[in-house]
Structures are given as structure tokens and as C-alpha cells.
């Protein structure tokens, strides 16, 4: 086979990956227009014409980019999120879309757990205080017995919930779209969104953006949490009402907001992100050696299955 494959995930365009050799071995030419960076629309418009396949990352993709992709037949995401893609435009063009389901779930869930523990034990500001010569000793909280709300019970949310259960937490999960076997996972109390959040000491977000783009964690729902709650977001920045969360942090009603996701990357400075009780990580949830390996292998396999269905049987 011949043709061009657009490769835009930052980890792959910067460092490459052995799994990509399966594409070059089939005669495809790999095109990496923004090594180590998220390509902008102009870069995509300049590069996508002539490409038959696209190994895609989290970069925003407009309908105009899809309109310019006259030969494009398959997009394979090296992850699960697809809200950066114009789904109507893909459907209209009959461009096949694949996701690497569940491949980075362990990595993201482990980061969510690490952020949860950092918030409960005030690790970051204790560390920063000691670096300035102080001796801060804030009273922390244990995860055992804590009430944790898990919003979204896909592969990541389920893995996180099980980790919390193993540490003795009490877990309430909410996901109107999860299958019954996941909703009945041992130890997870399934609830409406309001019931899951009521009195929760930790909230961990693992859901896609709702239709219409409205935040899930609104001012009223933040107010329903336990005083001094920890909010963890490894899913979508827009799931949280930023001004409402900032007000809750200022008032001391929220003890910590820990996030791995932002509206733009790198994020623009803001009062929320500069708040002393906000913990920031640079979208590294699925950026582990094992997660990248699983994700890339699955994404390449999916791309080949879409481009060469007869050979994939």
C-alpha cells in the first residue's frame, strides 16, 4: 500500500515509537508537521491534503480541516476522547473513526489517585513550604473511610474507583451511560449525580463533556460537597465551572483542586490556575511508558484495519 499518514500526537511526533514501523513497512509515508507540539489549524490545513490516514491526538480539528482532507479515509485516535473532532463532518464524508479504548486507563487512574492523595495530605504546599525554609505541618486526611464521588464509570473511572475501594474508601459512582455490569461493580454505590456529590469529600471527574458544553460541577453542586473537599479532574477542563470553583477555593469550601486538563495547552495564566491550593500537571495522565505502548499499538492496528480491512481479517 502507499499513501501518506498524518501523525499528530505529541509523544509520537517528538519521539517516534516502534509500533509506527508497521505503517512504514506497508509502504505508507509518515507526516509529522509539528514534532512534540499540538498542530494548529493552519498547519493541519497545509498538511492533511493527500493523507489517506490520520493517527490523531488531542489537537482541535475543524470542519474546514476535514473538508481539505480529500483523500482521508480513516482517523485513529491514540486515546479515547473524540470531542476535539467534528463528528458531523466525519460522518458526512464517511471517514471511519477508531478509538484506542481503555489503553491508557491505568495510567490516568493512577494519576487521579496520586492527585487525590496529594490533596488529602496537602503534599504540594507542604513541599513548597519546606523549600522556603518553613516547617509546615497541616493536618491531613486518610483516604480510608472517605466518601468519594466518581463521575464517569468508563475504563478510567472504574479503574480509579477500584483503587479507592482497595484503600478503604466509600465510593459512589455516577454514569448514565455505563453498562449494567460496570454499574454493579462490587463496592461501588451507584447514584444520581446529585446523590453521588452530596457530602462527598473527594470528587474525581472521568466523563466527557455533556451535550451543550455545560459544566457538570456547577456552583450548586460544589456547595453540596463536604466542607474542605478535594476535586480532581483528569477528564475535561470544561466539566468544572471555573469562576464557581475559584470562589469556593477562596472561601475555603474547597481544600484543593487538582487538574491535568486545560482549555488550551499550555494554558493561559488565570486566577484559578494561580491559586495556592490548585495542583497542576501537564496532561500527563496517559503519558506513561506502558500506556503509550498500549495506546500506540492499538491505534496503529486500528488504522491498518480501517485502511486495509481485507488484510486485517
Q: Which residues are catalytic?
A: 236, 265, 283
Give the closest residue to 261 by CA, choosing from 50, 45, 81, 77. Answer: 81
Environment class of residue 213 by beta-carbon count within 10 Å: exposed (0-12), middle (13-18) or buried (19+)?
exposed
Q: How far lies 76's CA from each of 96, 120, 133, 284, 295, in Å?
A: 8, 38, 50, 20, 11
C-alpha count within 13 angstroms, C-beta hemisphere, residue 254: 30
72 vs 34: CA distance, rounded Å:
19
Q: Which long-range contacts (CB under 8 A, 24 or more apart) does 163-167 make?
A: 163/109, 163/110, 163/113, 164/113, 164/116, 167/143
Please name the residue that has the C-alpha cell 517516534.
Answer: 16
CB atoms within 10 A of CB 108: 26
Orientation of helix 105-121 relative to helix 289-307, angle to 10°: 150
23 in helix, strand or coil?
helix
233 in helix, strand or coil?
strand
Give the 3-state secondary structure percentages of the chain, helix then strand then coil, rounded to 5: 40, 20, 45
Environment class of residue 13 by beta-carbon count within 10 Å: exposed (0-12), middle (13-18) or buried (19+)?
buried
Amino acid at each position: 500500500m502507499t499513501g501518506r499518514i498524518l501523525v499528530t500526537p505529541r509523544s509520537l511526533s517528538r519521539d517516534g515509537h516502534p509500533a509506527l514501523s508497521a505503517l512504514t513497512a506497508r509502504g505508507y509515508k509518515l507526516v509529522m508537521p509539528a514534532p512534540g507540539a499540538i498542530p494548529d489549524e493552519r498547519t493541519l490545513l497545509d498538511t492533511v491534503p493527500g493523507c489517506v490516514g490520520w493517527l490523531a491526538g488531542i489537537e482541535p480539528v475543524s470542519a474546514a480541516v476535514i473538508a481539505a482532507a480529500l483523500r482521508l479515509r480513516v482517523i485513529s485516535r491514540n486515546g479515547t476522547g473524540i470531542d476535539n473532532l467534528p463528528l458531523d463532518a466525519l460522518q458526512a464524508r464517511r471517514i471511519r473513526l477508531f478509538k484506542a479504548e481503555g489503553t491508557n486507563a491505568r495510567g490516568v487512574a493512577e494519576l487521579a489517585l496520586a492527585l487525590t492523595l496529594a490533596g488529602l495530605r496537602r503534599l504540594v504546599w507542604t513541599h513548597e513550604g519546606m523549600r522556603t525554609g518553613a516547617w509546615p505541618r497541616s493536618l491531613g486526611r486518610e483516604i480510608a473511610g472517605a466518601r468519594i464521588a466518581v463521575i464517569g464509570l468508563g475504563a478510567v473511572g472504574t479503574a480509579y474507583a477500584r483503587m479507592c475501594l482497595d484503600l478503604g474508601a466509600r465510593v459512589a459512582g455516577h454514569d448514565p451511560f455505563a453498562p449494567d455490569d460496570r454499574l454493579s461493580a462490587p463496592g461501588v454505590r451507584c447514584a444520581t449525580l446529585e446523590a453521588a456529590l452530596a457530602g462527598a469529600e473527594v470528587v474525581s471527574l472521568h466523563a466527557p463533556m455533556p451535550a451543550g458544553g455545560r459544566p457538570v460541577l456547577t456552583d450548586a453542586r460544589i456547595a453540596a460537597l463536604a466542607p474542605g473537599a478535594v476535586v480532581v479532574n483528569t477528564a475535561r477542563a470544561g466539566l468544572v465551572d471555573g469562576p464557581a470553583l475559584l470562589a469556593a477555593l477562596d472561601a475555603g469550601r474547597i481544600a484543593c483542586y487538582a487538574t491535568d486538563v486545560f482549555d488550551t495547552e499550555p494554558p493561559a495564566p488565570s486566577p484559578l490556575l494561580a491559586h495556592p491550593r490548585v495542583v497542576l500537571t501537564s496532561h500527563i495522565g496517559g503519558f506513561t511508558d506502558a500506556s503509550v505502548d498500549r495506546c500506540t499499538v492499538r491505534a496503529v492496528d486500528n488504522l491498518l484495519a480501517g485502511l486495509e480491512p481485507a488484510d486485517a481479517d
